[in-house]
Amino acid sequence: MNKADSERIAGLLSNAGGSSVDDPAKADIILLNTCSVRDHAEQRIYGKLGELKRYKNNRPGMKIGVCGCMAQKEGEALLSRVPYVDMVVGPDNLHRIPELLLDGGIAVEEGNLPNVLPVQRENDLHAWVTVIRGCNNFCSYCIVPYVRGRERSRPAGVIVDEIKALADDGCREVTLLGQNVNSYGKDITNDCDFADLLARINAIDGIKRIRFATSHPKDMSDRLIRAITDLPKVCEHIHLPVQAGDDDTLRRMGRGYTVADYRWLVDRIRAAIPNITLSTDVIAGFPGESESAFQNTVKLFKSIRYDQAFMFYYSPRTGTRAASLKEQLPLAVRKRRLAELIELQKNITCEINEAAVGKVEEVMIDRDNPSDTESMMGLTRGGKKVVIKEAAPGSRGSVVNVRLNQAYLWGFTGEPVEALCSNR
Ligand code: SF4
């Protein structure tokens, strides 16, 4: 979501006549796009703002802005704490950045971004496309519904037109974004749920691959699983945040499923899509999580064997229900549990990747390798990174069958096993 918003911010500034510089000392405008899911992310922004003060002192007229979820959450408080910040812009108000650059100020009203905004994409072959903003779930630890508001789906026709224009512009892969894409369409008279939307995007000429994130396990339907199997452009990767592997913890998190529900869902997904890549999010040390409850999460990780996991220790967010629970765990306990999960998951990812060596995977070459001009990089359909040693120069945008030669925690090195199978 933040990457997509950053590309919009860059597009807005470029449209207003701006261009990027690689040295903050030379910038007339510095905008920080922020996250507020964890306290650590917020503290880093305050630290960064401290560093930026000297640039502003040396360059009178420089504007500093804070955008995104932390801007939304902190609002006026941010301006009081860091008075040299010129503007504070929440995620629903990014379109107001050019106007705020003139006079400064604060824009944190809840609403909808205009459907069409200029975007400066980091990779011309790939686009982030938001299909639904906000979240209605109010998991007890999560700040997102408070800073990004309730669910608002974008009309299917607008999304399809946007992706057709992207395809005409050379884009070959889209990632559809939403806090919970499985809720897509429920809030509007659209006659189109997320599975239908995938089918409509699958029919767009020029688009070769469709990815999406995130799927809430309680809302993942069999229709969506079927869409992944039936629609050739939809890639076999599901990000399915589990958050905990213990029923009592899940109940107190307000996740709306049990461990058995989650396992049953994974069984159905794997039966329908045997080559699926599964990734997840997990929180270690949620308030009141006993050692045995945590070990249930460890057990779940050992049995599901995710390809990848985004792991964090619990971070209390003021205003959420979990932050006021009495049984907050000491930081040392949360960190120790997190370290255990990270170590376990590293081994699992390495084992899964090792087992794939020798296999042939379809890779879309989408970028140069910054550390080696002799090779190119791309992703498998499951979303794993591959460095391709003998990719032809100018092969960006091609889809190639690649034999995986060597496995790493981050992905693979490999070589093409046939002439490029499909060009841009
Ligand atoms: S579904 Fe995700 S974004 Fe929504 S409240 Fe729960 S954790 Fe937060």
pLDDT digits (tens, 9 = 90+) for 222-233: 999 999 999 999
What confidence tens digit (pLDDT) does each residue in 62-109 have? 999 999 999 999 999 999 999 999 999 999 999 999 999 888 899 998
Q: Which ranges in the chain are annotated with CATH 3.40.50.12160?
A: 2-107
- 417: Cβ–Cβ under 8 A, 6 or more apart, which residues? 360, 401, 402, 403
Best substitution site from 139, 220, 282 to test ligand 1's pocket, by max atoms within 8 Å of Cβ?
139
Ligand 1 pocket test, candidate residues 142, 184, 314, most atoms within 8 A of CB: 142
Is the pLDDT reported for residue 423 higher than 50? no
Expressed in angstroms and rounded, the spacing between residue 334 Cα and the centre of ligand 1 is 20
CATH number of 2-107: 3.40.50.12160
Closest ligand 1 atom to residue 142 Cα is: 8
pLDDT value of residue 71: 94
Instruction: Name the pLDDT band for 113 (thresholds 50, 70, 90).
Output: confident
- Quote the ligand 1 centre to 107 CA distance (angstroms): 24
Question: Ligand 1 in contact with 137 (CB < 6 A)?
Answer: yes
Pick from 2, 132, 135 the residue to mutate for probing ligand 1's pocket: most ligand atoms within 8 Å of its CB: 135
Q: What is the mean pLDDT of residues 375-383?
A: 95
Residue 83 pLDDT:
94
* pTM attached to this predicted model: 0.93
Which pLDDT score, from 0 to 100, does residue 424 have? 41
Strands (E), 76-171: 87-89, 105-107, 126-130, 132-133, 152-153
- Interatomic CA distance for residues 14 and 233, integer angstroms: 32
**Least confident span in 109-118, 212-221, 347-356:** 109-118
Closest residue to atom 1 of ligand 1, CA basis:
137
Q: Residue whose CA is closest, atom 6 of ligand 1? A: 139
Residue 292: burial class (beta carbons within 10 Å; 0-12, 13-18, 19+) = exposed
**Which range (187-191, 279-283, 389-393) has the least confidence?**
389-393
The token duo for 29 is: 């405008």
Structure tokens, 286: 């949620």
Tell me the mean pLDDT in the region 323-334.
Answer: 97
Query: DSSP H helical segments within 1-106, as ranges?
Result: 2-15, 39-58, 69-74, 76-81, 97-103
State the Cα–Cα distance between residues 383 and 67, nearest whole angstrom: 29
- pLDDT at residue 369 above 50? yes
- Ligand 1: atom nearest CA of 281 is 7
Residues of the chain with CATH 2.40.50: 360-416
CATH superfamily of 126-355: tm_1862 like domain (3.80.30.20)
Using CA positions, which residue lies closest to atom 8 of ligand 1?
142
Q: Given this model, what pLDDT does residue 393 score?
A: 66
CB 139 near ligand 1, within 6 Å: yes
pLDDT beyond 80 at 395: yes
Distance 261 CA to ligand 1 centre (A): 18
Lowest mean pLDDT among 174-178, 184-188, 190-194: 190-194
Contact between 212 and 181 (Cβ < 8 Å):
yes
- What pLDDT, on a 0 to 100 scale, did the predictor assign at position 373? 79
360-416: CATH class: mainly beta
Sign, CA torsion 142/143/146/147? negative
Find the 144 Cα to ligand 1 centroid distance in Å. 6
The mean per-residue pLDDT over the stretch 386-401 comes to 85
256 close to ligand 1 (CB < 6 Angstrom): no
Residue 101 pLDDT: 87
Is the pLDDT at 420 greater than 60? The verdict is no
| Distance between first and last Cα of the chain | 27
- What does the chain come to in residues? 424
Judged against a pLDDT cut of 60, whether residue 419 lies above it is answered with no
In the predicted structure, residue 383 carries a pLDDT above the cut 50: yes
Q: Average pLDDT in the 404-419 region?
A: 91
Task: Answer whether 250 contacts ligand 1 (Cβ < 6 A).
Answer: no
pLDDT tens digit sequence for 241-263 = 999 999 999 999 999 999 999 99
What is the structure's pLDDT at 116? 83
> Mean pLDDT across the stretch 303-328?
96
